Structure 1
Amino acid sequence: MKISITKVNKNFLVILFWIIVWQIFAMLINEEILIVSPFKVLIKTFENLKNPNFYLILFNTSSKICLGFLLGFFAALLLSLLSYKSTLVKNLLFPLILFIKSIPVISFIILLLVFLSSKYLNIFIPFIMSLSIIYTNILQGLLAIDGKILEMARVFNISYKNKLKYIYLHSLKPYILSSTSLAIGISFKSGLSAEVIGIANNSIGRALYESKIYLDISNLFSLTFVTMLISLILEKFFTFLIRRLI
C-alpha cells in the first residue's frame, strides 16, 4: 500500500509540474488564440459537461471507435491463428498487413471517403489500425512459443483446454496486453482524424473542426483533454479485462 501511495504521489507531482509549465508558457505567450491557460481549459470543460449534447458526441465517438477496435481485435485474433496454422495464409496476409502498417492514415481516410459515408469512417479506420497491430503481436507471440513445450504436452496427452490455458494463453498474455494498449490509443487518434476530415455529424471530430474554424482554442484544448481521458480509461478497462480473463 505504501508503494502504491508513493507512486500516486509521484505521478501527481509530475502532472502538477507540467501543468505549471503549461501555465507559465501561456502567460509568456499571452495570446489565447495560440495557447490558453489550464484554468480556462478547466472552466470550458465544466461548461461542456453541463451541455447534454456534449455527452451525445462523446458517446457517439467513443462507442464507434470501440466497436472498430473490438472488430479489429477479434479479426486479428482469428487471422493470426489461421496464419499460425497455415504458412499459405501467413504469406497471403503479409503484404496486406505491411501495406496497412506502411500507408499513412490520412491516405486511408481520403480513399475510404470515396466509398463510405463519413459516419462509418470512425468505425472502419480504427478497425484497420487495430487489426494490423494486434495481428502482428499475436502472431509473433504464437511463433515464439517453445516447440519443445508443445511436444511435451502432446507426449503426456495434455487436454486441449489445459494447453490453451497454460501454454497458449499464458504465452500470449504479454503480447495481447501490449498490443491492446497500443491499439486503443491508435484507434482513438485515427478515429478522430477520420471524424475531422469527414466532418462526421454529432462527433468529437466535428466539434474539434468547428473549434478550429471559430478559433475557440479553449474548447479545442478541452475536447482534446476529455478525449485523452476517455482513451486512457478504456485502455485501463480493456487491459484489466484481459488480465482477469487470461
Structure 2
Amino acid sequence: MDKNTPIDKKMTSAHALIRCAPIIFWLAVWQMASMLDGSGVLLCGPLDALLALCRLSCTQAFWSSICFSTLRIVAGVVGGYLIAAVLAAASWHARAVRTLLQPALLVIKSTPVACVVVILLIWTGAANVSVITVLLLVVPAIYFALCTGLDNMDASRRELFEVFGMRGQRRFFALIWPAVLPYLEAASSTVLGMSWKAGIAAELIGVPTGSIGERIYQAKLLLETPDLFAWTFCVICLSWLFEHGAIALLRGTWPRVARFALKTPRSGAAEARGDCGACKARLCAQGLLIGYGDKPLCESLNFSLGPSSCLCLQAPSGAGKTTLLHTVAQLQRPLGGTIENTARKRSMVFQDTRLVEDLDALDNILLFASPDLVRDEVRSLACELLPKDALSRPVCELSGGQRRRVELARAFAAPGELVLLDEPFGGLDAQAHSCALAFVKRHGAGRIVVFATHDANDAQALTAQVLEL
C-alpha cells in the first residue's frame, strides 16, 4: 500500500474544508440575519427555505413548473445560437450583410429586458414570452462572438485549407470550429447564466400559467418567504447546471469533431485520384514577374512543366522562392506576365509548419488524403517516412524533423496533380533527408513537382530542372 495515502487523504479533506468554508460562512450570516428579523416574513432562515424546498419538491406542480420554464428557456437558447450562427456565416461571406445587421443587433443588445418583455406581451401574449426574451438576449452576444472568431481565424491555417481545396464538413470542423470555439466559450459563460435570469424575469412580468415565474409571484403575493427562497434556489441551481453543462459540452467538442469529420466522406469523393500517370495537367509561365506591391523580386521567369516533371528552385534567401510558390498556388497575384495552371488539385508543404496541433500525425494526413485512399493505405504511406509509434502521437509532441515529414506525407497523400514543396527537407538529418528524397521521387511520378531548396544535390537526386532566381 502507498505510504503517502493517509497524508493525501488529509490534504484532500483540508482542501475540501477550505472550499466549503466560504459557503458555511455565508449560510451562518444568512441564519443570523433571519434571527435578527425574527418575523420570518422579510427574511427566512436557510433551514426554513430547505424545508420549503423539500415540501414543494414532493408535489407534481413543482416539477411541472420546472419543466415548463426549463423547456422554454432552453428552446430560446438553442434557437438563439442557431440564428446567431446563420447570421454570422452570412456576415462573414458578405460584408453588406454585416453592415445591415450591425445597428439592429446593437439596439437589441442595449434594450433593457423589462422593456423587451412588455413589448412582447403586447405582441405575443404571456405563454411564450420567456422563449423570445431569451432568444433576443442570446442572438447578439453569440453573433458578435462568432464574428470575432471568424475575423481572427489563423491566416496561415486558412491558406493551408485553400491550397488543398478542402471544403465541406472537414473544413468546418477542422478549420472554422477551433477558430470560433474560444470566443464561443467566452460568450457562453456570460449568456447562458443570463438566459435564466432573463427568462425568469420575463415570467415574473408576464406570469404565464404553470411557470416558475408564476410560483415566485404567488409566493410574493402571499408573503410565503420560505417558498420564495426555495424557488429562487431552484433557479440558481438550474442556471448553474445549465451553464456548466453546456460549456463542458462545448469544450469537449474539440478535437472530437475533427476526428468525427475524418469518418465522413470527403467533399468531392467521387473524383478519385486514379492513376497519376494519366494526369494531363500543365504548368507554364511566360514573362512571369513575382513580388509585392510594384517591386519585382527577380527578373521575368519562363518555364513549362507537364506530368512527371520536377522543377527545383534555387536562390539565396529572400530572392523569391517562396513568393513564386505562393504565386503558383494562387495565394497571391503575379505582378506581370502570364501563368497557366491546368491542375485541378494541388497540395503544398509550406516553409513554416502548418499542422492541426491537437490531432495525431496520421489524422493530420488523413484530413487531406485522397478520397480513394483507405486508412491502412495512408498509414503505409506515412510509415515510409515516419516510425509507427509517431503516427498515433499528437503532432505537437513530435520533433521538428518528424513534423516536417508529416507535412511531406500529407502533400503526397492528397489528390494533388501539382505538388509544391517549400524547403521540404529542412531540419532533417542525413538519413531522413535521403529517405525523403526517395519518397518524393517515388510518389512524384505522374505529378508536377516544384520544390525550393538550398542544397544543389537535391535537384540531381530528383532529376529535376533547375530554375535559378
TM-score normalised to the size of structure 2? 0.50
Listed one character per residue, the Cα deviations across residues 118-170 of structure 1 (whole Å, up to 9, x for unaligned) are: 00101110111011111111111111113233123323444554432333211
The answer as to 2:177 corresponding to 1:169 is yes
The 3-state SS of whatever aligns with 2:128 is: helix
In structure 1, the residue matched to 2:75 is 67
CA distance in 2, matches of 1:119, 1:110: 13
Cross-structure match for 2:141:
133
Q: Which residue pairs with 1:147 in the alignment? A: 155
Which structure has the higher relative contact order (CA within 8 Å, separation 6+)?
1
CA distance in 2, matches of 1:13, 1:205: 32
Choose from 57, 62, 67 the match for 2:65: 57
Q: CA deviation at 1:214?
A: 0.9
Q: How far apart in 2 are the matches of 1:63 and 1:153?
A: 40
Counterpart of 2:104 in structure 1 is 96
Pick the structure with more helix per residue.
1
Partner of 2:415: none
Residues 1:184 and 2:184 aligned together: no
Letter in 2 for 1:22: W
Cα distance in structure 2, aligned partners of 1:93 and 1:159: 27
SS at match of 2:252: helix
Cα deviation 1:168-210 (Å, max 9, x = unaligned): 2112112122222322211111111111111110000011111
Q: What one-letter code is carried by the residue in structure 1 that aligns with 2:185? A: L
**1:64-92, Cα deviation, whole Å (9 max, x unpaired):** 11001100011111111111111111111
- Measured in 2, the distance between the counterparts of 1:210 and 1:81 equals 44
Give how far 1:13 is off. 2.3
**Higher mean C-alpha displacement, 180-189 vs 65-74:** 180-189
Equivalenced residues, count: 246
- CA displacement at 1:244 relative to structure 2: 2.5
> Which stretch of the first structure deviates more once superposed, 11-20 or 74-83?
11-20
Give TM-score scaled by structure 1 length.
Answer: 0.92
2:212 is the alignment partner of 1:231? no
Corresponding position: 1:83 with 2:85? no
Deviation at 1:28, TM superposition (A): 2.5
CA distance in 2, matches of 1:176, 1:4: 34
- How much is the aligned-residue C-alpha RMSD, in angstroms? 2.1
| Structure 1 residue 245 displacement after superposition | 2.6
Tell me the percent identity. 26
Task: Indicate the residue corresponding to 1:220 in structure 2.
Answer: 228
Larger proportion of strand? 2
